Structure 1
């Protein structure tokens, strides 16, 4: 927690922020009730963005940002 990161690195949508939660083993499981999906899989990382937003992303959408450390 507290690690500076870039979300969506290498894209025009790149954002900067700080990791606030790692859901690790809880991520990646969809919820189904009676065969109907009510929610998709959770993302692993919660990132508080520099602009005040909050995003949830997986490993392929986040990179440590050593320039901001």
Structure 2
């Protein structure tokens, strides 16, 4: 499931937004966005032709259960309002 919008940050998701991560799956969780890595997300690090680290994720989300996850737009959506 995609975030509500495009990859340019028009999803409506922002700092302090209530969100669902992994929506529609058995791993669905509720949380709050605590960081947006925007322009720095999505770039793997290579040194001397060897990949050191995979691409970073865009959003840092503190889960209601106390966990912390890093996800991209395709794994997060705004939490529905009542």
Structure 1 residue aligned with 2:63, among 49, 61, 65? 49
Q: Which runs of 5+ in 1 are unaligned?
A: none
State the TM-score, normalizing by the size of structure 1: 0.94
Greater fraction of residues in helix: 1
Greater fraction of residues in strand: 1
RMSD: 1.0
Aligned pairs, number: 68
Query: Hey, what's the Cα distance between the residues in 2 that align with 1:48 and 1:67?
Result: 19
- The offset of 1:9, in angstroms, is 0.2
Q: Which runs of 5+ in 2 are unaligned?
A: 1-14
